[in-house]
Amino acid sequence: MTALPARRVRRLRHTLAGTAVLGLVGSGLVLGATAPAGATDAATDASAPAPRSFSFATTQRPLLAGQYQVAASDDTGELFVTSAQGRPPVLNATLAKVDPDTLAIKDRAELPVLEHGTEATPTYKQLSTHGVYVDDAHDNVWVTNTRDNQVTVYDRESLDLVWTSYDFDAAKADPAQRAQVEISHPREVIIDEVNHRAYVTAANRGGATDSSITVYDTVSFERLRDIAIPARASYPTTGDNESAYAVPMGLDIDEATGTVYANDFRTDQYYVLDYAADPDDYAVERVDIPNPLAATEGVGLLQPSSIAIDVEAREVYSANQGQFAQAEGSLDIFDLDTGAHKARIVTGSRALGVDVDTDRGLVYVADFTTGEVAVVDARAQAVIETISLPGTPKSANHLIVAGGSAYMVDKAGATTQTIDYAVDPVTGERTTAETSVDSIAKITPVDATVASAAAIGGTLTLEGQGWLDQAGTAGSTIAVKINDGAIAHAAGEGPHSNDTVWAVVEADAKGRFTARIPLPDGGTTGARGSVPAATPGTWTLRLLSGSLKPGDTARSTAVEVEVKAGKLRATAAPRITGKAKVGKKLKATTGTWSAPASTKLQWRRNGKVIKGATQATYRVAKADAGKKLTVRVVASRPGYANATATSKAVKVAQVARKNRTK
């Protein structure tokens, strides 16, 4: 094995972000939504809520030759994409660091070059990359070298080689050791950053009686153990008596507990590896994925291939490829705690990749046959959009959800480029090659979020993402309407010639915005006056793009917000003037207020109401002698809660007594 010195361990950072989207509705930018299909033995829940509607913004660009998987760093947001083009020996391969906003390559790793072939006729190939996951706790990127049966680790920042299971010294000393097997067909890798473990699935399909999931220490890179996954006993087989041997494929993890979930390509099951229950031996629970074809057609038709969990919703999602015409690609939903099968949803022809947006309850499913991405509303158990990407006519291979967007890598090879990460098979030198290149796509729900309280006359903070023009290179210009224009600006007072446009918002080049929207003040004149006068209640803010900027994307999204009564405040308190003597007249002001308001005035003696004293002037009575007088003002305005303010007290002089003589 090749190893570098142990690296520092820094404190793992966990972040939970996101503000709830309130009453989100919208019109799709992508069409072709597929109606949900019925489940096999568990029908779609009849009590499920109605499907929600989302719009989606997509950007796409050619990236690498022979793409396989994509992963994201929670710390930096950067993406890491693996590539290995062609059958062994793989000559075109790399590991790329990608900007999550522009989808541009920021850096690429130079992969190790291996001797290949016989001693008499040596050739060369690359230690190509396939599965990938980021270990932010140790600043590393783990990859599986599926074609070479190895596992390798790169530095997250520099992409330098940190460690690999491949033993270069052994291969150099003995040509027979060039083809080494650390793990048979390692497919996916996932990291438990809390317990410093890496899990790798061995997706060998050669009919082995047992398969395994291999566990590594992410600090020392020591191979800790192989968790045996026996063949599924007493499971229906085909006429040639093939066994239901295990082929573990996809992985996901509950970061809080260290529990790992893996689904199996052949046994029609998913596995729950409970680290906390048994850190030494692992407690493995097997959950059946219903397959009605198994009884008559045998195993290997459902082909579960990717898995995701939503800890908050307590659900497990298994994406199943199906076997071309014999079964449809589907998504199975299970209860995370009980393993109960909740629903099966047909998502397309060949569902290969899955991940979940836990904030929104959206599950994305990549279809390898069509290149499309189905979006499932997990709460409604229904497909709400099927996204077709122009640069991906086929072969959507893998996807993840990171930072609120889904990132999908394909194997469509839709463009041709000259790459500089090829290797000459004769010399082993790095060279260029003209070859087909695959694409990466970013899919972002177009939404808006209310990020502050709302009140008449106040200011509302509105945040959004996914607001990009048709080219995906610039932000949209967005018109905001209140109640679809039913509350409009007073004539000529708004930011647009159309008075129903209450505000105009500009999204940045990444399609994001944070806008402070001044709300109507309850009056009918001025910059905040509205027609009709606004009142508290549930409002709909309609966000529209497409008509205010050439080349913009036409879309419509609405956010419901509860608008409370406004708050009046005295900017200057009421005031009493004049001589505070019996028989003299005092005057009072009603103060000034934060918005024009009607006022009612009440004189008080030592804090108690003086009956009938409600005018701006007051003649001091004998009963006031030696007492303190104040004025309390109540201000009111439509759409606002009443407010009060009290003047400073004035003390009335005592009446002088005349001397009495005998």
Residue 422: count other Cβ atoms within 10 Å of its Cβ. 21
Instruction: Report the CATH number that the domain containing residue 263 is assigned in CATH.
Output: 2.130.10.10
The pLDDT tens digits for 513-537 are 999 999 999 999 999 999 999 999 9
Q: Is the pLDDT of residue 110 over 80?
A: yes
CA dist 247 → 213, 250, 271, 274, 581 (Å): 10, 10, 11, 19, 99
**625 domain-assigned:** yes
Residues 110 and 145 in one domain: yes
Residues 510 and 371 in one domain: no
The pLDDT tens digits for 75-89 are 999 999 999 998 889
Query: Mean pLDDT over residues 324-346, rounded?
Result: 90
From CA 271, how far away is CA 261, in angstroms rounded? 6
CA 610 to chain centre: 62
Residue tagged 């291996």 (tokens)? 114
Residues 536 and 580 in one domain: no
Residues 555 and 586 in one domain: no
CA dist 3 → 155, 218, 368 (Å): 13, 12, 36
Asked if 300 contacts 323 with a C-beta cutoff of 8 angstroms, the reply is yes
**662 domain-assigned:** no
Q: Is the pLDDT of residue 280 over 90?
A: no
Beta bridge partners of 341: 334
Q: pLDDT band at 30, cuts 50/70/90?
A: very low
267 closest CA partner among 253, 251, 249, 241 = 249
Last residue of a domain, one of 516, 541, 567: 567
Residue tagged 């850096």 (tokens)? 107
Amino acid at site 163? W
From CA 439, how far away is CA 474, in angstroms rounded? 20
* Dihedral sign from CA coordinates of 141, 145, 149, 150: negative
Residues 351 and 498 in one domain: no
> Burial, 122: exposed, middle or buried (Cβ in 10 Å; 0-12, 13-18, 19+)?
middle
User: Which uninterrupted H or E stretch holds 354?
Assistant: strand 351-357
From CA 78, how far away is CA 73, in angstroms rounded? 6
Residues 406 and 502 in one domain: no
The pLDDT tens digits for 121-137 are 889 999 999 999 999 99
Instruction: Report the CATH number that the domain containing residue 504 is assigned in CATH.
Output: 2.60.40
CA dist 324 → 320, 370, 435 (Å): 11, 12, 28
226-240, 259-273, 572-586, 610-624: which range is least confident on average? 226-240
- At 226 the three-state DSSP class reads strand
Look up the pTM and report it: 0.81
pLDDT at residue 164, rounded to an integer? 98
The pLDDT tens digits for 286-310 are 999 999 888 787 778 899 999 999 9
**660 domain-assigned:** no
Provide, rounded to the nearest whole percent, the portion of the chain with pLDDT above 70: 90
From CA 340, how far away is CA 42, in angstroms rounded? 9
128 closest CA partner among 140, 143, 108 = 143
513 closest CA partner among 475, 559, 545, 541 = 475
Asked if 431 contacts 495 with a C-beta cutoff of 8 angstroms, the reply is no
Residues 115 and 256 in one domain: yes
Beta bridge partners of 214: 200, 226
- Residue 121 has φ and ψ, to the nearest 5°, of -130, 75
Q: Which domain holds residue 50?
A: 2-9+22-445
**16 domain-assigned:** no
Residues 538 and 440 in one domain: no
- At 641 the three-state DSSP class reads strand
Q: Is the pLDDT of residue 355 over 60?
A: yes
From CA 14, how far away is CA 203, in angstroms rounded? 31
Instruction: Report the CATH number that the domain containing residue 574 is assigned in CATH.
Output: 2.60.40.2700
Residues 151 and 231 in one domain: yes
Residues 31 and 156 in one domain: yes
Asked if 422 contacts 432 with a C-beta cutoff of 8 angstroms, the reply is yes
The pLDDT tens digits for 424-440 are 999 999 999 999 999 99
**Two structure tokens written together for 317:** 């999602």
Q: Considering the chain, what is the average pLDDT of its residues?
A: 90
**658 domain-assigned:** no
From CA 98, how far away is CA 73, in angstroms rounded? 11
CA 398 to chain centre: 17
Using the CB atoms, write b or e for 171-191: b if 16+ within 10 Å.
beeeeeebebebbbbbbbbbb
> Burial, 223: exposed, middle or buried (Cβ in 10 Å; 0-12, 13-18, 19+)?
middle
From CA 221, how far away is CA 34, in angstroms rounded? 45
Last residue of a domain, one of 445, 464, 481: 445
pLDDT at residue 661, rounded to an integer? 55
- Residue 370 has φ and ψ, to the nearest 5°, of -95, -20
Asked if 337 contacts 310 with a C-beta cutoff of 8 angstroms, the reply is no
From CA 87, how far away is CA 116, in angstroms rounded? 13
From CA 267, how far away is CA 295, in angstroms rounded? 13
User: In the Cβ-directed half-sphere of 55, how many Cα atoms lie within 13 Å?
Assistant: 25
pLDDT at residue 38, rounded to an integer? 36
From CA 626, how far away is CA 653, in angstroms rounded? 5
**Furthest CA-CA distance within the chain:** 147
**112 domain-assigned:** yes
**302 domain-assigned:** yes
Residues 291 and 336 in one domain: yes
Last residue of a domain, one of 514, 532, 567: 567
User: Which uninterrupted H or E stretch holds 173?
Assistant: helix 168-173
From CA 67, how far away is CA 79, in angstroms rounded? 13
Residues 100 and 213 in one domain: yes
**380 domain-assigned:** yes
Domain count, the chain: 3
Beta bridge partners of 30: none
The pLDDT tens digits for 39-95 are 334 555 667 789 998 889 999 999 999 999 999 999 999 999 999 998 889 999 999
Residue tagged 């994307």 (tokens)? 553
**Two structure tokens written together for 198:** 């890496």
